[in-house]
Amino acid sequence: MKQIRPTTATIDLDAVRHNVRRLRELAGGAELCAVVKADAYGHGAVPVARAAVDAGASHLAIATVEEAGNLRLVGLRVPLLLFSEPPLDGVDGILAADITPSVSTIPFAEALAAAGRARGRAVPVHLAFDTGMGRVGVPHQDAAAFLAALPDDGLEVVGQWTHLARADEPGVDTTELQLDAFDDVRAHVAAARHRPALTHAANSAGVLGHPRSHLDMVRTGVAMYGLSPSAEMDAAQHRLRPVLSLSTQVRFVKQLRAGTGVSYGHRWHAPSDGWLATLPLGYADGVPRGLTNRWEVLHDGRRRPVVGTVTMDMVHVWFDDVEPAVGDEVALLGTQGDEQIRVEEWASILDTITYEITCGISARVPRRHVG
Ligand SMILES: *Cc1c(COP(=O)(O)O)cnc(C)c1O
C-alpha cells in the first residue's frame, strides 16, 4: 500500500558503509562482523546487511534463528553467526539457513554433531566463553572440562569468542581481566587440538576503547549505526555518522490562549497566547512517553519544545508567536540547518542507551533506505 502518513525513519546506507570502513580502520584491519540482530537495531536488517557486506563486513550476526530468514533469501552468502543457543529443535533451522551457531553447552553440541554426522559434513561452530559477562557462554573456569566433553566428530570449531561486560566504561579494569581469562581459555582450546581461524571479543565499545580486544574480528552493532555505546564514549568523536533520522510533518495547527491545558493530564499549560502544532506520531511509534515535557524537535532549522504528555499517536509542539503550517517538515531525530538532535539526546533524557531508542522505533514507522 502506498505510504500516506508523513512519518518516516530514513536510513542512510552510505553512512553504514562509511561506518563499517571506519570501524575496520579503528580495529586495525581486523575482520568485521556486522551485528544485524533486532532488525539491525531497528534500521532494517536486509538493506543494512547488504550495505555492510558491500563495505567489507565478512560476517553477519543475529540473535535468533528466525532472524536468518530474509538474509539468506535475498542472497547474502557470508557466514551468519548466531550469538546464543536456541532450543534443541532449532538445529534444523540452523542447517537449513546455513547458520554458524555459537556453542556453549554439551547437549546443543551433541545435537549439532549428530546432525553434522547425519548429513556427512561437520557443522562449523564458534565456541562461546563467559569470561566475566555473566550471561551465556561456557564459564571460563570450566573450559577444559567442556572441551573434553565435546563430541569428537560432526562439529568443526571455526571460531572462539567472549563478550565484554564493561568495555563502554573507560577506566574500569574488567575488560583487561576478561581478556586475561580469554587468553587462558584460548590455550585450553589449542591444547584440545582445535584450530579456530577466528578469535573475537570486541563489541563496538571494544573497538573504540580497547585495542587489545580487536583480535581477528570485531562484532559491531551500535557504532556501525553511528551511535555511541555509552555517554562516556562518543561515536561522533570517532568520526562515525548517524544512520537513522526520524521525521514527520505538522498535521494540525491551532492558536491557544494563555493557560490552556494540553494533552492527557494537562501536564503542560500554554505560558502565553500562541501557536500549537500536532505531530502524528507517539509512543506506539517508539517515541517514549518518558520524554513528556523534556524534549525538542527541529522545524525550520530551529529547536522547538514538545509539550504535554506523549500520547499513543500524537505529540504537540509549542511555537509561541510563530505560526507553523500544516505540512511543514519536522525532524525528531536528525539534522536541519545547523541544528542536530541525536539519539544520544533522547537516551540521556530517558537515562537509557541509544540501542533501546532505535530498537524501540516500532514497525508502524515506515523505513526509507537511501544511499
Ligand atoms: C549485541 C552483541 C554485540 C554488538 O554489540 P554493540 O555494542 O552493539 O557493538 C556483539 N557481541 C554480542 C555477543 C552481542 O550480543
- Is the overall model pTM greater than 0.85, yes or no? yes
> How does strand 123-130 pair with strand 155-162?
parallel
**Sign of the dihedral through C-alpha 362, 368, 369, 370:** negative
pLDDT of residue 154: 98
355 is catalytic: no
Q: Is 254 a catalytic residue?
A: no
Per-residue pLDDT, 2? 87
Give the Å distance between the CA of 89 and the centre of ligand 1: 25
Nearest residue (CA) to ligand 1, atom 6: 221
Grid cell, residue 54, equals: 558491500
Q: Which residue has the cell 540501542?
A: 355
Q: Are 194 and 182 in contact (CB under 8 A)?
A: no
Would you state the pLDDT for residue 99? 98
Pocket around ligand 1: residues whose beta carbon is below 6 Å from it?
35, 83, 163, 203-205, 219-223, 229
CA separation for the pair 167, 177 (Å, rounded): 11
Q: Which amino acid is at 92?
A: D
Please work out, in degrees rounded to the nearest 5, the angle formed at the alpha carbon of residue 64 by the alpha carbons of 63 and 65.
135
For residue 69, what pLDDT is reported? 81
Mean pLDDT by 10 residues, the chain (371 residues): 93 98 97 98 98 98 94 96 97 97 98 98 98 97 98 97 97 97 98 97 98 98 98 97 98 98 98 98 98 98 98 98 98 97 98 98 98 94
- Active-site annotation holder among 2, 225, 264, 283: 264
164 CA → ligand 1 middle, Å: 9
Which residue has its alpha carbon closest to ligand 1 atom 4?
221
Ligand 1 centre to CA of 130 (Å) is: 14
Q: To which residue does cell 529547536 refer?
A: 303
Q: Give CA–CA dist 290/351, Å, rounded.
A: 10
